[in-house]
Amino acid sequence: MRRVRRRRRAATGTVIVAAAVALLGGCGIQGTDVIAAGGPASFQAFLDREYDMLLFFRSPDGGLSPVIRSTAVSAAFGEGYVEAGAVETDGPVPTEKVVTTLLAGPRKEDRVAGLSTSLPLVRGGKVEVEPSPGGGVTARLPFALAGLDSTALRQLTCTIAYSQDADGQVVVTLTGQDGASRSGTCGLAPGDTGNVPAATGTGARSPWPGTPG
């Protein structure tokens, strides 16, 4: 009887002490987990679709980084950019030219920023872009698709998609010289579930792929 009571008393004491510790403990400021807070920040990138090309290169972490490349005189960034006003008008830059520029690889300033490309270096050769029969666009490329990795395919897909459409929501079909064909969407925009590139099926389901860890 007494032992039971003593045990009960001990239990009560433990509870009280635990409660006190829980209440009084955690004084000061503790660390937290990562907590999501609102959307991203949107900044001014001065993208002018009339003159500028949007190229996608490979960033060091394996993701894609968009790069704005002006068709205007473009030696130096900075002042030249401002004065690149009225040269070569007539609508958006043709997709063929954009792809050709992409295939020419990153420039010096891109490489300084750590950007690179997964595409083979192709000089010459013709790139043909025409609308696909079932909607979207088809690009015939002057090299074989077979040896390309998924980053290369996504570089091509996104560059073509954003060249064709400001929102990049275009199904792009790539056809190589070897006759291989891949089709998909870019899926880089937030909220967009991309299925790129469908044929290779790397399974990058993230809308913002390229950070596999």
Partner 1 sequence: MTIGLRIGPARRRKDAGQEAGQGAAATDNRSRIRAFGLRTRLLLAFLLVAGVSAGTTSALTYREARTALLETAQDTAVTSFRDHAQQTAFSLPLQRGAALEDVLRDIARKGKPHPWVVFAEYGSVRASSGENPVSTVITPELRRAARANPHGSFERVVKDGVPYLTIAMPMVFKTSPYSVLPSGLVLYAVMRLTDEQVNVDALLVAARNGALPGLAVALVPGLIAARSVLRPVRKLHEAARSMGSGRLDTRIPVRGSDELADLARTFNESAGQLERSVRELREAEERARRFASDVSHELRTPLAGMLAVTEVLDEDADGLDADTARAVRLVSAETGKLAVLVEDLMEISRFDARAAELNADEVDVAETIRKTLQNRRWTDDRVRTDLPDGIRARLDPRRFDVVIANLVGNALRHGGTPVTVRLRTEERTPGTAVLITEVMDSGPGIRPESLPHIFDRFYKADAARTRSAGSGLGLAITLENVRLHGGTIRAGNRPEGGAVFTVGIPLHAEETGG
- Chain residues in the site for partner 1 (CB under 8 A): 16, 19-20, 23-24, 26-47, 54, 57, 59-61, 63-68, 77, 81, 109-110, 112-115, 162, 166-168, 188-190, 206, 208, 211, 213
Q: Which residues of 133-155 are buried (b: 16+ CB within 10 A; e: fewer)?
A: eeebbbbbbbbebeebebbbbbb
For the CB of residue 145, give the shortest distance to partner 1 in the complex, in Å. Answer: 25
The answer to whether 141 and 177 have CB atoms below 8 angstroms apart is yes
Give 1 or 29: the residue with its C-beta nearer to partner 1: 29
Distance from C-alpha of 181 to C-alpha of 140, rounded to nearest angstrom:
9
For the CB of residue 104, give the shortest distance to partner 1 in the complex, in Å. Answer: 15
Give 68 or 198: the residue with its C-beta nearer to partner 1: 68
For the CB of residue 125, give the shortest distance to partner 1 in the complex, in Å. Answer: 26
Give 7 or 111: the residue with its C-beta nearer to partner 1: 111
Distance from C-alpha of 1 to C-alpha of 104, rounded to nearest angstrom:
90
Give 66 or 142: the residue with its C-beta nearer to partner 1: 66
CA neighbor of 51 nearest in space, from 88, 80, 97: 88
The answer to whether 128 and 96 have CB atoms below 8 angstroms apart is yes
For the CB of residue 45, give the shortest distance to partner 1 in the complex, in Å. Answer: 4
Give 65 or 173: the residue with its C-beta nearer to partner 1: 65
For the CB of residue 87, give the shortest distance to partner 1 in the complex, in Å. Answer: 19
Q: Which residue has the tokens 């394996």?
A: 62
Distance from C-alpha of 125 to C-alpha of 62, rounded to nearest angstrom:
28
